[in-house]
Amino acid sequence: MEIRERLSLNMRRLRQSKGWSQEEFAHQAGLHRTYVSDLERGARNPTITVVDKLAVALGVPVGALLDEQHSAAS
Amino acid sequence: MEIRERLSLNMRRLRQSKGWSQEEFAHQAGLHRTYVSDLERGARNPTITVVDKLAVALGVPVGALLDEQHSAAS
DNA sequence: GTGTGACTAAGAGTCCGTG
DNA sequence: GCACGGACTCTTAGTCACA
């Protein structure tokens, strides 16, 4: 799986587990609404500083967003 | 610590543990020699696709490059 | 073998909308 | 609340010559 797709899936899962909308999440991370939307769709290739912001906002290490997560799903 | 600095330290440590020169490492990752040099100096703000290449070349998860590593030094 | 400034094309990141 | 588009500025990707 490509890294952009991994990020996409991980950030959506973690965001939803916080009960945040994309807009709320974008605000928390100090990013733009539409950009977070793009990232969740795997349509962008962010820099590591952006990923760091996301990770900090979610309270997880950066690896939790970029590494493949072994979810319960088949 | 900033994420660029974490990347810088981690990639240098991991590269050296492989006994690779920057040149050799750049070749393995499919990147330019001077670009790897810049990254190790924390002079660049790479995208996640670049970091992914580095991680694959080193045979480690991306988190190993971006998360803070608890080295023995203290 | 590595650090550094400079350069161009491409893409990151922001902001305006719409359905 | 989210996907998606266009347009904009500024930075990154990737490379070179030189120290």
Q: What is the pLDDT of residues A13-71, one digit of tens each?
A: 999 999 999 999 999 999 999 999 999 999 999 999 999 999 999 999 999 999 998 86
CA distances from B8 to B2, B12, B30 (A): 10, 6, 18
Between chain A and chain B, the number of residue pairs with CB atoms below 8 A apart is 59
Alpha-helical runs (H) found in A1-74: 3-17, 22-29, 33-40, 48-58, 63-66
pLDDT at A7 over 50: yes
B3 φψ region: left (φ > 0), alpha (ψ -120 to 50), beta (else): alpha
Contact call for residues A29 and A56 (beta carbons, < 8 A): yes
CATH architecture of A3-72: Orthogonal Bundle (1.10)
Which residues partner with B47 through β-bridges?
A: A47
What are the pLDDT digits (tens) for B42-61? 999 999 999 999 999 999 99
Q: Can you give the pLDDT at residue B69?
A: 86
Interface test with A, best of B6, B62, B68 (most A CBs within 10 A): B62
What are the pLDDT digits (tens) for B9-30? 999 999 999 999 999 999 999 9
Taking each continuous run of H as one helix and of E as one strand, the counts in chain B are: 5, 0
Q: Can you give the pLDDT at residue A74?
A: 47
Residues of B in contact with A48 (CB under 8 A): 3-4, 7, 45-48, 51, 66
Q: Closest Cα of chain A to B24: distance in Å?
A: 24
- Prediction pTM value: 0.91
CB contact under 8 A, A62 and B66: yes
